[in-house]
Amino acid sequence: MNRTIATIILHAAAPAKPAVGESCNGCGICCAAEPCPVGMLLLLQFRGRCRALSWQAEHRRYVCGMVTRPAAYLRWLPAGLGSWAGRRLARRIAVGQGCDADIEVAKGGSRR
C-alpha cells in the first residue's frame, strides 16, 4: 500500500470531514490536498492547495471559487457569463453529489 502523508492547513472553524459518500459540508480537505480536474485544466495547477479554495466566514465553510466567482479566476470569461460558468463548473466537480475524498484525517491535529 503506497501512502502519502501531508499536512494541510485549514481554518479552525472548518467542519470535520464527512465520510465518503455523505453530503459535502465544506470542510475543504479535498481541495486543500490537491486541485480537482477543473482546477488542473483551467488553472493549470497540478498539485498542492487549489488556488480557488475559498473560505466563507459567514457560513463557516469552504467553497470552490471557480463555482462562486468564476470571473475572478477565469479572466478571459466574458462579462455576464459568470453565473452560467459557475453552474457548468459545479456540474463538472459534482457539487452536491457527496464526499468523494478518500483521505484519511489524523486525529488530534493541533488548531491555532
Written as tens digits, the pLDDT of the chain (112 aa) is: 566 777 888 999 999 999 999 999 999 999 999 999 999 999 999 999 999 999 999 999 999 999 999 999 999 999 899 999 999 999 998 887 889 888 888 765 544 4
55 found inside a domain: yes
Strands (E), 24-108: 53-56, 61-64
81 found inside a domain: yes
pLDDT at 7: 85
62 found inside a domain: yes
Residue 18 CA to residue 101 CA, distance in Å, equals 9
74 found inside a domain: yes
Q: Which of 94, 7, 14 is nearest to 48 (CA)?
A: 7
11 found inside a domain: no
User: How many domains does the structure of the chain reveal?
Assistant: 1
44 found inside a domain: yes
Alpha carbon dihedral 34, 23, 112, 8, in 10-degree steps, equals: -10
Residue 37 CA to residue 44 CA, distance in Å, equals 10
Domain that holds residue 65: 29-92
pLDDT at 88: 93
Query: How many helical (H) and strand (E) elements, i.e. helices and strands, does the chain have?
Result: 5, 2
22 found inside a domain: no
5 found inside a domain: no
